[in-house]
Amino acid sequence: RSPSRGLGDVYKRQIKGGSITLTDGDVNVFQNLQRITFCFWSFLRVIDHQYNTIFYQSGILHFFIDKNNMSFIVVLGGQIMTWDLTSFVDIWKHYTVVIDYSETDPLQKVLLFINGVSQGTASKSGTDNTDVAYPATTDKLYIGSHDGTQIGFDGYIDDVRI
């Protein structure tokens, strides 16, 4: 039984000890979008491994929590955005990641909200992402794993909406 987040037992989809894979037919609907939003609930357990992947699509995006540095990281192409986190283990939190490909300021291209509160400007490294829309791809989008087989997230991911 998963930890309660105060909303009863109504869940859209819960990932526990596994992952969901969206194939090219599923991800084709994202192509050419100028703005895309990822929303999900997360309950990260006391973790043994450093990186906990939430979303991964090869060469396009990677969202993960870095336990050792207590940070939420979004990799968008070659651009790496990092936000500091506090108290993210053993508690339900709602995350919203907004990617606005039309935004020309690299620091405003990716926005993070936790429990409805903006996390402000991220620190940035890597190469600026210059895509103007979600790239066309046939690569799978993994939720809760890096490649569908590796343990990528130690906890629960619930009510995923894209």
Rounded Cα–Cα distance for residues 67 and 50 (Å): 5
pLDDT at 49 over 70: no
90-146 tens-digit pLDDT: 889 999 999 998 888 888 889 999 999 999 888 888 888 888 888 888 788 888 887
Q: Distances in Å between the alpha carbon of 59 and those of 2, 68, 161?
A: 33, 24, 21
Whether residue 112 contacts residue 83, with contact meaning beta carbons closer than 8 Å, is answered with: yes
Give pTM, 2 decimals: 0.82
pLDDT reported for residue 47 = 62
Sheet holding 51-57, edge to edge: 20-22, 141-143, 51-57, 61-66, 71-76, 79-84, 123-126
pLDDT reported for residue 12 = 39
1-45 tens-digit pLDDT: 344 333 333 333 445 556 677 776 677 778 788 898 999 998 887
